[in-house]
Structure 1
């Protein structure tokens, strides 16, 4: 599993780490029962503070996407299955929005408004 971040982005690193894990789950690259790399490994490879990665993992835990247990690490839960199921729908929606000339921000606003 490759966790991707952009240090030049305005998005906090912990949020980028969490988003990268969510994207891998949505694309089917992570399945229930898979273990995430240890926070220490991720922090070392990204050259960020350990607590930054732990905050991302805690956010994923709060969303129910991972289960964190001492000695087991972070394990992907069954809650990732719906993300993978929605992936094709999201791809189709973004392609349609692109064809209509909508910006990513406009599409995101529409989705957020519709979700409410």
Structure 2
């Protein structure tokens, strides 16, 4: 799992970490039972404070995506992330886009623009 953060971004570092781990879970890069790097290891490799990583891991634990085990680290849960809301939003986006005559590449462009704004 490759995690990249942008120190120049307006999004807080812990938020970037949360997004990166969520994305890895949703893409299937990591799955149920997979162990993530320890907070100390990840912080060291990214050059951030260990508490930044712990805050991200805690957020993901609270969402049900991770289980934090003392002495064993962060483990992706069998539940992972509930993608039902995301899947429904994607279906709605495609449906509305079709009604307005947009192609899938045009929708991709709109999503890319939204993601960078």
- TM-score when scaled to structure 2? 0.74
Counterpart-to-counterpart distance in 2, 1:81 and 1:72: 21
- Of the three residues 103, 106, 110, the one matched with 1:103 is 110
**Superposed CA offset, 1:22-50 (max 9, x none):** 00000011110000100001100110000
Counterpart-to-counterpart distance in 2, 1:20 and 1:101: 20
Q: Secondary structure at the match of 2:17?
A: helix
Count of residues in correspondence between the two structures: 106
- Post-superposition offset of 1:103: 3.3
Q: Over aligned residue pairs, what C-alpha RMSD do you find?
A: 3.3
Report the structure number with the largest CA radius of gyration: 2
Q: Which residue of 2 aligns with 1:2?
A: 2
Superposition pairs of residues 13-28 of structure 1, within 5 angstroms: 13-28=13-28
- Post-superposition offset of 1:104: 3.3
Q: Structure 1 residues 50-59 or 98-107, which shifts more?
A: 98-107
Q: Which sections of structure 1, spanning at least 5 residues, go unmatched?
A: 109-116
Counterpart-to-counterpart distance in 1, 2:11 and 2:65: 21
Counterpart-to-counterpart distance in 2, 1:76 and 1:11: 24
Cα distance 1:82–1:96, how it changes in 2: closer, same or farther (>3 A)? farther
- TM-score when scaled to structure 1? 0.74
Cα distance 1:40–1:97, how it changes in 2: closer, same or farther (>3 A)? same
Cα distance 1:5–1:99, how it changes in 2: closer, same or farther (>3 A)? same
Counterpart-to-counterpart distance in 1, 2:15 and 2:9: 11
**Higher relative contact order, structure no. (Cα contacts within 8 Å, ≥ 6 residues apart):** 1
**Superposed CA offset, 1:63-107 (max 9, x none):** 000000111100000122644xx67x95xx589565158733886
List 4+ stretches of structure 1 deviating above 4 A: 93-98, 105-108
